[in-house]
């Protein structure tokens, strides 16, 4: 049985790993030059930033065993510091229950996890799949190759276009996503706080999440410097999505300064990462989306929730469906 997987995020990688373990040789098509989806890392000079998911919380799910037993644990770091909250310009201690959730990262960036998950898989990088053709005798054609089964492991708005190209009547438009502007900031000042991130739990402030990368683990910034990732609210991200980087950086830096103090007024390194499909605002359950007798499967965080560990679970569901 020949299987194609569209998308090399965590859902696609999870699906491919299980299929390979069961004797198949799936082909993954990935439009980007890197795999992992939101498990993305970017270097800017001497600063290192996780630009999408800034940590992973295994929560006893399948990815937990994979991380600890099936792939190398080199560089895997347990984040010791808690998450605090901010409101009305003030920072206070976060939810004790939520801070009991274990969070991990890799010294060289969270994309290390994606690369290790992809080891040994047939991944066609920088290969955009714009349509899937259903063949009269059964199966599908993708970029000139034929497959018996196809797994769509992309954001559901992108999956919708591929379903339509294959003449599949399923509609996934009920699953909506929010955009996120992820602003990378490096400062020539040390961070003295006792937390690694601060969140606006009410989602009212433009600055929804601030991850102090240099407080997560060593090696993210030069000695005496700080590296931070500011992730902006859906409303702010929608209104500024096409704005110049300079404007976004200036406005975000002002928010950080108001929150942390004057020593963080002017970043010495900065960049912007735009996530059009950051996290699903509404999901469609995998079982609802995939009829038992289908041979074209849809998975991803849009079927489980917007975290890496949930996307991985969705990929496992797709693999089980293929093997059924």
> Any idea which architecture 1-35+118-174+282-324 has in CATH?
3-Layer(bba) Sandwich (3.50)
Interior CA angle at 222 toward 237 and 213, to 5°?
Answer: 35
Strand pairing class (296-298; 197-199): unpaired
Domain chopping of the chain, boundaries: 1-35+118-174+282-324, 39-111+177-281
- Does 290 score more than 90 pLDDT? yes
Q: What pLDDT was estimated at residue 203?
A: 86
- Does 174 score more than 90 pLDDT? no
Mean pLDDT of the chain: 97
Q: What pLDDT was estimated at residue 242?
A: 98
Per-residue pLDDT, averaged over 236-248, amounts to 98
- Does 123 score more than 90 pLDDT? yes
Q: What pLDDT was estimated at residue 88?
A: 83
User: Six-digit token pair at 235?
Assistant: 């409303």
Alpha-helix runs per DSSP H in 137-281: 156-165, 213-216, 234-240, 245-260
Interior CA angle at 268 toward 263 and 270, to 5°?
Answer: 115
Euclidean distance between CA atoms 211 and 299, whole angstroms: 28
What are the tens digits of pLDDT across the range 194-223? 999 999 998 889 999 999 999 999 999 999
Per-residue pLDDT, averaged over 265-272, amounts to 97
Q: What pLDDT was estimated at residue 175?
A: 86
Decide: 204 and 243 in contact? Cβ < 8 Å.
no
Residues present in the chain in total: 324
Nearest to 322 by CA among 14, 7, 115: 14
The CATH number of domain 39-111+177-281 is 3.90.660.10 = yes
Nearest to 153 by CA among 295, 50, 14: 14
User: Six-digit token pair at 133?
Assistant: 């053709």
Burial of 128 (0-12, 13-18, 19+ CB in 10 A): exposed
Per-residue pLDDT, averaged over 157-169, amounts to 96
**Partners of residue 210 on adjacent β-strands:** 198, 230
Q: What pLDDT was estimated at residue 173?
A: 85
Decide: 162 and 183 in contact? Cβ < 8 Å.
no
What are the tens digits of pLDDT across the range 256-266? 999 999 999 99
Terminal-to-terminal C-alpha distance of the chain? 12
φ/ψ of 125, rounded to 5, equals -75, 155
Q: What pLDDT was estimated at residue 293?
A: 92
153 band by pLDDT with thresholds 50, 70 and 90: very high
SS3 state of residue 226: strand
Euclidean distance between CA atoms 112 and 105, whole angstroms: 9
Q: What is the four-CA torsion angle of 78, 80, 81, 83, rounded to 10 degrees?
A: 50
Interior CA angle at 151 toward 148 and 155, to 5°?
Answer: 155
Nearest to 86 by CA among 200, 197, 252, 196: 200
Domains 1-35+118-174+282-324 and 39-111+177-281 share a fold: no
89 band by pLDDT with thresholds 50, 70 and 90: confident
Q: What pLDDT was estimated at residue 204?
A: 87
What are the tens digits of pLDDT across the range 19-75? 999 999 999 999 999 999 999 999 999 999 999 999 999 999 999 999 999 999 999
pTM of the model: 0.95
**Partners of residue 154 on adjacent β-strands:** none
- Residue 49 makes CB contacts below 8 A (sequence gap 6+) with 41, 42, 43, 109, 184, 213, 220, 227, 229, 271
What are the tens digits of pLDDT across the range 176-200? 899 999 999 999 999 999 999 999 9
Q: What pLDDT was estimated at residue 119?
A: 98
């Amino acid at each position: 049985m020949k299987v194609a997987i569209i998308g090399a995020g965590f859902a696609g990688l999870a699906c491919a790993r299980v299929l390979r373990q069961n004797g198949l040789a799936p082909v993954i098509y990935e439009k980007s030059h890197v795999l992992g989806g939101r498990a993305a890392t970017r270097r800017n000079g001497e600063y290192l930033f996780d630009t999408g998911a800034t940590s992973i919380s295994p929560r006893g799910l399948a990815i937990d065993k994979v991380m600890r037993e099936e792939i190398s644990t080199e560089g895997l770091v347990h984040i010791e510091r808690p998450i605090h909250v901010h409101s009305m310009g003030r920072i206070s201690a976060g939810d004790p229950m939520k801070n009991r959730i274990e969070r991990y990262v890799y010294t060289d960036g969270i994309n290390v996890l994606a690369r290790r998950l992809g080891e040994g898989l047939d991944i066609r990088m920088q290969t955009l799949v714009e349509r899937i053709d259903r063949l009269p005798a059964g199966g599908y054609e993708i970029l000139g190759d034929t497959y018996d089964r196809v797994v769509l492991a992309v954001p559901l708005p992108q999956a919708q276009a591929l379903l339509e190209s294959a003449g599949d009547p399923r509609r996934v438009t009920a699953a909506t996503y929010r955009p996120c502007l992820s602003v990378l900031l490096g400062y020539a000042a040390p961070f003295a706080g006792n937390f690694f991130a601060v969140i606006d739990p009410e989602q009212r402030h433009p600055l929804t999440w601030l991850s102090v990368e240099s407080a997560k683990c060593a090696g993210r910034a030069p000695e005496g410097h700080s590296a931070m990732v500011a992730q902006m609210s859906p409303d702010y991200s929608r209104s500024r999505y096409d704005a110049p980087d300079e404007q976004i950086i200036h406005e975000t830096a002002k928010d950080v300064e108001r929150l942390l103090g004057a020593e963080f007024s002017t970043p010495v390194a900065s960049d912007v990462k735009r996530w059009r499909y950051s996290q699903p605002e509404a999901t469609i359950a995998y079982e609802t989306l995939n009829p038992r007798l289908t041979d074209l499967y849809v998975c991803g965080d849009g079927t489980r929730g917007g975290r890496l560990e949930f996307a991985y679970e969705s990929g496992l569901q797709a693999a089980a469906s293929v093997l059924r």
